Amino acid sequence: MTERRRPDPGATRSLKGPNYTQNMAQAPVVPTGFELPLEPRLPRIGSVDAVALEERAASLAKRSIKKDAKVFALELAIRVTDLTTLEGADTPGKVAALSSKAIRPDPSDPSIPSCAAICVYPNLVPTARERLQGTGVKVAAVATGFPSGQYPTAIKVADVRSAVELGADEIDMVIDRGAFLSGRYAKVYDEVVRVKEACGDAHLKVILETGELGTYDNVRRATLLAIAGGADFVKTSTGKISPAATLPVSLCMLETVRDVHEETGRRVGFKAAGGIRQAKQAIQHLVLVHETLGPDWLTPDLYRLGASSLLNDILMQLRKERTGRYQGPDYFTLD
Amino acid sequence: MSELDRKRDRTPAPQDWTYAPAPESRDVVSIAEQYGHFVGGEWLEPAETYETISPSSEEPLARVGQGMQQDVDRAVGAARGAFADGWSSLPGSERAKYLFRIARLLQERAREFAVLESLNGGKPIKESRDVDLPLAAAHFFYYAGWADKLEYAFPNRRPRAVGVAGQIIPWNFPLLMLSWKIAPALACGNTVVLKPAETTPLTALLFCDVLRQAELPPGVVNIVTGDGRTGAAIVEHPDVDKIAFTGSTEVGKAIQRQLAGTGKKLTLELGGKAANIVFDDCALDQAVEGIVNGIYFNQGHVCCAGSRLFVQESIAEPLIEKLKRRLTTLRVGDPLDKNTDVGAINSAMQLDKIKELVAAGVEEGAEIYQPPCTLPEKGYWFAPTVFTNVAQSYRIAQEEIFGPVLSVLTFRTPEEAVEKANNTPYGLSAGVWTEKGSRILWMAQRLRAGVVWANTFNRFDPSSPFGGYKESGFGREGGRHGLEPYLRFDE
Amino acid sequence: MSRLPVKKTYKLFIGGAFPRSESGRTYEAEGQNVARGSRKDARDAVRVARAAQPGWAAATAYNRGQVLYRLAEMVEARVPEFAELCSGRDEVEQAIDRIVWYAGWADKLPQVLGGANPVAGPYFNFTIPEPTGVVAVLAPDEPPLLGLVTRLLPPLVGGNAVVAVASETRPLAAVELAEAIATSDLPGGVVNLLTGFRKELAPILASHMDVNALDVCGSDGDAPELERLAAENVKRVVHGRADVQSPWEIASFLELKTVWHPMGQ
């Protein structure tokens, strides 16, 4: 059995040199650890067969989760939800109401757990922070010129710094898809590294925007790149385009996260965001995680669902499990 | 404690998540206490009967007839009568409409049949529902369309029906094998006497009710149940024009010997020991899925199962690790539970055979791995098994186990892989896993197997011909070629 | 006193729905007011057919066969109504059997029309048929139902979408067929039926740059002019016959694609 280097999962910075804040020209062409001669055991970049991947995802989606297993899943889904609003029209009033909803999703049932976080644009971070103070619900801010990422690096990094200063606990960044699709992988990597630095203590989620990457091969590659750059979480989508967090694309990313863990010991989280509107889908996503990564990932520290209308569908399903009656939307607050 | 405090106190610690039982209801199907033989559109009272059970619990399900010589005589007589009386001279387009009706009825009653199949045979409901039933209906639909187009399938050969076909099918895909036999036979204008496997008669018997609903003329399809003696009576019957057999190579050879010199047409679909070949540039996770599907689908009770895994040495270690890890997520249990991945072994006899060969593997020096799983007390069960460090000469690499047991061997070059894959008296199927297109085609060209699956495994379609090379049998089922065994040509 | 029946309105069939002509016009045929389709209706029908065609082509051949079989089921359920609108029960039964016949071809075409080609080199080479796209069909006047079915099914089986111009003098059978199509699981837009004056509609379709093939069966002497118009975008022009069923009828609306790939380690 060959000895593998297992770096401390928390010390991602040790993977790079000590003075990393230099300009891009010094960024390695290939991320550290991928140079020749190759390490004996590394997660292979490799290809992904689309037909087989989609079949496997479909097969897992057919798992029949009933009764107490279903209640467990629904409650877990709430606990890992990042309740999201990312609209031009967001106001402090809207975000204050959403924050309250995240703390107490169902006013009539205090046993319903709180969500994991609120996800908002930087300007709304102070409002969210005020509402969520002391509740355990985190404030996640999107940054780096979300959702397009089509801005100079310096601006994107400044965006992150300011969001952190405003009080964000978590930063959801976007990778530069223009750079990725034109083969400038070093730039993509470099930006992740710089953003991670700018995050300080805030945890970093890296959004790949899988719907723009074209192939599952690219999704796998981008996932590895983001993880190499220091991501704490990899995230499927901005939620602004379709397709977003489909089951196959999520499975592809989860398998990559699993490979990194198996080869290096490092645990990276996964967030599925966009297009998850029904409780049934949320449960399917949880099955995917459960059968790919195991129960260790079934926690908000390593798994999130980014959604907005999903929450009420989950609440309706939970109440149906408890009362035996199908529910209607009038009985659940909009926010 | 305030509400907020209470919530903060609930640290979301990861827990294990056990899926609650999710059984498909048995209510959808009603099973009679006893069945006779279906001959000439009627049920014959059986002189002798035996009990058929559910292999996952050993629960008796029904008594069915043990077909004797006189039952077979009457069945062949009814088939001959129906053939002479009009089935073969019926316009193809009318025959087609009967077959279309049968296809639609199977689609309508799919759930009923799927539950019965899982109950009587042991396979997971997920498979009978999502694979066996849809394919069975599709087979009838596909061949319905050929019934009035035979002159296009064989231009200039003037195809005509053969006559009465005797068909003997196995227990691993009972209803599907029935459709593979009956659909092309009827499309070509033949009438049939079919014997389902001894341990799995029930879906064939329920099928007779579909024939009643389809208003198929009496005698066109006759079903006689029983063991090997019934099969022998069908094979030896002088008024049967053609025999189609799917089952073990041993019995296939016996049938071929029996029919020598009689002029009867014969097709055989026998055993296999397929090589599943994985190159280091494969799509790794999908290849693992394909390996698992290749040998654990239907508990490995598949003639074309990928039972010899040839993994390129350069990727052997990571692949085997991934494979073992994947095995731990396989759910073995009640076939009627919708979450079950691997069901019961079909019979005590088969279980003994598997155990014997696995013991031989251990004794010969192969390294055995079985994921932890709790097997039920009653019923016939075997845990998914992988042998590594296997040599070509071991019994587990030579003999067909017909169970959830994989033997792993290594190779270095494509040339070597082909040589080793072909180094067997069998030749039913093979698998190739690589992202390189030219290598797929190069390998496919050289593999001596009737079906080559590239970057997939265990894929079936009524339009795709299936059958073996060498001792895996001869003749093809499916596709245009599947019509040929059921026709005579006046060229 | 006998009961007053509710009279049917005879409209166009476009995109799975039954609109009146955008021109608001009708004409009288077989004693009824029937929509008189305009150039804009034809334009809309082609647009909708184009949008629907990729989905129909991408369905499995098995699925297409089943959907067309269901069309036969729907026509079988309306035998008396159809019999009134054509020569009688015999013609309807022939039409149903013809639909079933064609439905059974869907999953067999490449096995008869295509195949692997034994090229002299280390290449795998195969030819497969594919639908040409949007097909315009001019239905014959006789037989009113069987003729229309005979010309509609060949392009459909192969995965094409159709814009058909019904017989001008005998359009009611076509509208009845549209009703059967609407309940058959055929996706909206895969079959579109226009009633109206042939001399108004045919040249529009013949000259339309987004129509791939034209069946001039019911062209009634205007074929040469229509063929000339069709040449502008190199349409495949088919002289369909109203009385024949054959896989070669299907083939006339298919393209053939040949693919090469090296075979090597």
Q: What's the CA gap between C201 and A36, in Å, rounded?
A: 69
B7 CA: distance to closest CA in chain A (Å)? 7
Domains of chain B: 26-270+471-489 (3.40.605.10), 275-462 (3.40.309.10)
| Nearest CB to B7; choose among A52, A62, A113 | A113
In this prediction, residue B88 carries a pLDDT of 82
Q: Active-site residue numbers of B?
A: 269, 303
B129 CA: distance to closest CA in chain A (Å)? 12
Q: In chain C, where do the E strands start and end?
A: 26-29, 32-35, 115-116, 123-131, 134-138, 161-165, 191-194, 213-215, 236-238, 254-262
Q: What is the mean pLDDT of chain A?
A: 90
Tens place of pLDDT for every residue, chain C, 265 residues?
A: 799 999 999 999 999 999 999 999 999 999 999 999 999 999 999 999 999 999 999 999 999 999 999 999 999 999 999 999 999 999 999 999 999 999 999 999 999 999 999 999 999 999 999 999 999 999 999 999 999 999 999 999 999 999 999 999 999 999 999 999 999 999 999 999 999 999 999 999 999 999 999 999 999 899 999 999 999 999 999 999 999 999 999 999 999 999 999 999 9
Residues 76-115 of A with CB under 8 A from B: 76, 79-80, 103-104, 110, 113-114
Looking at domain A46-331, its CATH architecture is Alpha-Beta Barrel (3.20)
In this prediction, residue C220 carries a pLDDT of 84
Chains with ≥3 Cβ pairs under 8 A against A? Answer: B
CB contact under 8 Å between C111 and B463, yes or no, is yes
pTM higher than 0.90: yes
Touch between B and C (at least 3 CB pairs under 8 Å): yes
B305-315: pLDDT as tens digits: 999 999 999 99
Question: B-chain residues within 8 Å CB-CB of A55?
Answer: 289
C-alpha distances in angstroms, B12 versus A70, A79, A80, A304?
17, 8, 9, 13
- What's the average model confidence in pLDDT over A208-214? 97
In this prediction, residue B10 carries a pLDDT of 46
Position A29 confidence tier, pLDDT thresholds 50, 70, 90 = low
In this prediction, residue B1 carries a pLDDT of 44
- What's the average model confidence in pLDDT over A233-239? 97
Touch between C and A (at least 3 CB pairs under 8 Å): no
| Nearest CB to B286; choose among A53, A64, A103 | A53
Chains with ≥3 Cβ pairs under 8 A against B? Answer: A, C
The percent of residues in chain A predicted with pLDDT above 70, rounded, is: 87
The residue of chain B nearest to residue C122, with distances taken between CA atoms, is B442
The residue of chain B nearest to residue A253, with distances taken between CA atoms, is B285
Place of tokens 């279903």: A70
- What's the average model confidence in pLDDT over B58-87? 97
Decide if pLDDT at B57 tops 90. yes
Helices assigned H by DSSP within B315-390: 316-327, 348-364
In this prediction, residue A170 carries a pLDDT of 98
In this prediction, residue A4 carries a pLDDT of 42
- What's the average model confidence in pLDDT over B39-43? 98
Position A32 confidence tier, pLDDT thresholds 50, 70, 90 = low
Chains with ≥3 Cβ pairs under 8 A against C? Answer: B
Within an 8 Å CB–CB cutoff, is residue C261 touching chain B? Answer: yes
* C173-208: burial string, b at 16+ Cβ within 10 Å, e else: bbbbbbbbbbebebbbbbbbbbbbebebbbbbbbbb
Cβ partners under 8 Å of residue B60, min gap 6: B51, B52, B53
Decide if pLDDT at B14 tops 70. no
Q: What's the CA gap between C92 and C177, in Å, rounded?
A: 11
A251 CA: distance to closest CA in chain B (Å)? 11
The β-bridge relationship of strands C123-131 and C115-116 is antiparallel
Q: Choose the CATH number for C26-262 among 3.40.50.1100, 3.40.605.10, 3.40.50.12780, 3.40.190.290.
A: 3.40.605.10
CB contact under 8 Å between B100 and C69, yes or no, is yes
Decide if pLDDT at B9 tops 50. no
A145-149, A263-267, B354-358: range with lowest mean pLDDT: A263-267
In this prediction, residue B247 carries a pLDDT of 97
Decide if pLDDT at A75 tops 50. yes
- What's the average model confidence in pLDDT over B441-446? 97
- Residue A82 identity: D
The percent of residues in chain A predicted with pLDDT above 90, rounded, is: 84
Per DSSP, the three-state class of A138 is strand
Q: Active-site residue numbers of A?
A: 172, 235, 271
Give the DSSP H or E segment for A283: helix A279-292
ipTM over 0.95 threshold? no
Within an 8 Å CB–CB cutoff, is residue C264 touching chain B? Answer: yes
In this prediction, residue B7 carries a pLDDT of 47
C85 CA: distance to closest CA in chain B (Å)? 25
Each domain of chain C, given as residue ranges in start order, spans 26-262
Position A33 confidence tier, pLDDT thresholds 50, 70, 90 = low
In this prediction, residue B485 carries a pLDDT of 97
Within an 8 Å CB–CB cutoff, is residue A329 touching chain B? Answer: no
Question: C-chain residues within 8 Å CB-CB of B483?
Answer: none
* B272-297: burial string, b at 16+ Cβ within 10 Å, e else: bbbbbbbbbbbbbbbbbbbbbbbbbb
Tokens of B463: 């339009």
The residue of chain B nearest to residue A68, with distances taken between CA atoms, is B20
Of residues B215 and A34, the one with the higher pLDDT is B215
Give which of B100, B281, B415, B443 to mutate to test C binding, by max C Cβ within 10 Å.
B100
